[in-house]
Amino acid sequence: METLRNEVLQCQKCHLAATRQHVIFGEGNIHAGVFIIGEAPGRDEDRIGRPFVGKSGQLLDKILDACGFNRKDHVYISNIVKCRPPDNRVPTPQEAAVCMPWLLKQIELADPKIIILLGATALRYMAGSSYKITVERGNWLIWQNRLAMPVYHPAALLRNPGLKRDTWEDFKKVVYKYRELVNPQHYSRYV
């Protein structure tokens, strides 16, 4: 994974390279069993060089904590695209397609038991453009022989806190599956 990281840090395959401050490769435990896929780095991530460090990231950490998960031990976090799209716009299909081989290689190396698709963009670019987060969230998908759980993006929860209740139900399913496939002893205060 570190060899791959060094390669991705040099990437000039698309025009996002020209406006980025950092390439945000990903972080967490590559042997964790859970691989979280977000959309794209935002302003805070681009400035600091780590995924999910802004407001969405703080909410993500709270959700993970409620599941008994933390970034160091239980999950690996990356994004559909590794460089910030200007003005935080959604990555274009072309940008996503050019960046996708990096993500596929990361998934292959991490070999996760569970993938979490964080939000509409991750769902669409991983599963197909016809997939709708409001329809698919909370339902396990099979993605290339792996289990994937689509959930609302934390930014959507910040805009619409009414979605938090459903999202918690979805993450509970992830915890149950984690006990089934990764660690039967996994402890979480709330699940």
Count residues binding ligand URA (CB under 6 A).
18
By the rule CB under 6 A, 120 interacts with ligand URA: yes
Residues 22, 122: Cα–Cα separation, whole Å: 21
Residues 76, 47: Cα–Cα separation, whole Å: 20
For residues 39 and 95, which CB has a smaller minimum distance to ligand URA in the complex? 39
Query: Contact region for ligand URA (CB under 6 A) — 36-44, 96-104, 140-148, 177-185?
Result: 36-44
> Which of 152, 174, 175, 178 forms a contact with ligand URA (CB under 6 A)?
152
By the rule CB under 6 A, 133 interacts with ligand URA: yes
Q: Tell which positions 39-68 bind ligand URA, by CB under 6 A.
A: 39-42, 45, 51-52, 56-57
Of the candidates 185, 179, 167, 49, the one whose C-alpha atom is nearest the C-alpha of residue 114 is 179
Buried-state track 152-182, b at ≥16 Cβ within 10 A, e below 16: bbbbbbeeeeebbeebbebbbbbbebbbeee
SS3 80: coil
Query: Which residues of this chain interact with ligand URA, rule CB under 6 A?
Result: 24, 38-42, 45, 51-52, 56-57, 79, 119-120, 133, 152-153, 156
